[in-house]
């Protein structure tokens, strides 16, 4: 018997495939928002692209596949090019998680449509499995990146409420904070809050796509 079961291998494959879509969308959203706000640096560096290799980070990709949480190469921004640096930083940072939530919403709709309308069989099971991980990976990326801790996107949004001087004092230790955060994640310190945040987002997406369930039940003559 091998060290890796077929079921575990399938999970990793599905996470990897979902990651190939989720991460480029996330990073391209940062680049697009930054360019619209006045800083085309990321766009000029080819980061406004859905090509996964434009955003690939080896360690981040491995972590995403193995544990479901990871990262890509940071998108470079120069906030001094924004008309309002504080607001520009927050908006360009928020663009990534928002794009993942939109992709998760679309994936949940497709999941429900596939669940109700695809004929039963191995192909349908694989499609459903893939769409499930599309929701899971995108929700995880959005929730994880909204944590108000550098270098995650949530820390840039925090600039809106923190005094500028205090914010940049904290950001001087971004690398050290990231290493500490990563170690805490590996030891499971944030497992419980992340679990509740992810579950809460799944519940919101389920309610937001409930119109599909109602339409199917009504078409079948089932009272809801």
Global model pTM greater than 0.95? no
Pair of tokens at residue 19: 């990651």
What pLDDT digit, counting tens, does each position of 136-147 carry? Answer: 999 999 998 898
Query: Which residues carry out catalysis?
Result: 27
Please report the sign of the dihedral spanned by the C-alpha atoms of residue 101, residue 68, residue 127, residue 52. Answer: positive
The band of 224, judged by pLDDT with boundaries at 50, 70 and 90, is low
Residues 6+ apart with CB under 8 A from 146: 97, 152, 153, 154, 157
What pLDDT digit, counting tens, does each position of 24-33 carry? Answer: 999 999 999 9
Query: What distance in Å separates the CA atoms of residue 37 and residue 29, rounded to the nearest whole number?
Result: 12
What pLDDT, on a 0 to 100 scale, did the predictor assign at position 1?
A: 47
CB-based burial label for 45 (10 Å; 0-12, 13-18, 19+)? middle
Query: What distance in Å separates the CA atoms of residue 105 and residue 111, rounded to the nearest whole number?
Result: 10
- Give the percent of the chain with pLDDT over 90: 52
Query: What distance in Å separates the CA atoms of residue 216 and residue 93, rounded to the nearest whole number?
Result: 38
What pLDDT digit, counting tens, does each position of 187-220 carry? Answer: 877 788 888 999 999 999 999 999 999 999 988 8
Query: What distance in Å separates the CA atoms of residue 86 and residue 89, rounded to the nearest whole number?
Result: 5
Residues 6+ apart with CB under 8 A from 91: 33, 37
Residue 73: is its pLDDT beyond 90? no
């Amino acid at each position: 018997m091998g060290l890796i079961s077929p079921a575990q291998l399938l999970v990793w494959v599905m996470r990897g495939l979902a990651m190939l879509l989720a991460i480029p969308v996330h990073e391209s959203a940062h680049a697009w928002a930054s360019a619209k706000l006045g800083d085309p640096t990321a766009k000029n560096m080819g980061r406004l692209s859905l090509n996964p290799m434009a955003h690939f980070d080896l360690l981040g990709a491995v972590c995403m596949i193995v544990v479901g949480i990871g990262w890509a190469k940071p998108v470079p921004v120069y906030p001094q090019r924004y008309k309002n640096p504080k607001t520009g930083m927050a908006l360009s940072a928020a663009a990534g998680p928002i794009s993942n939530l939109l992709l998760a919403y679309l994936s949940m709709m497709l999941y429900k449509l596939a669940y109700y309308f695809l004929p039963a069989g191995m192909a349908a099971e694989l499609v459903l499995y893939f769409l499930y991980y599309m929701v899971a990976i995108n929700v995880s990326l959005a929730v994880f990146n909204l944590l108000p801790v550098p270098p995650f996107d949530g820390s840039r949004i925090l600039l809106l409420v923190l005094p500028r001087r205090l914010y940049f004092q904290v950001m001087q230790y971004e690398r050290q904070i990231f290493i500490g955060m990563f170690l805490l994640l590996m030891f499971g310190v944030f497992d419980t809050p992340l679990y509740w945040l992810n579950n809460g987002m799944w519940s919101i997406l389920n309610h937001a796509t409930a119109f599909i369930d109602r339409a199917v039940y009504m078409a079948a003559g089932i009272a809801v």
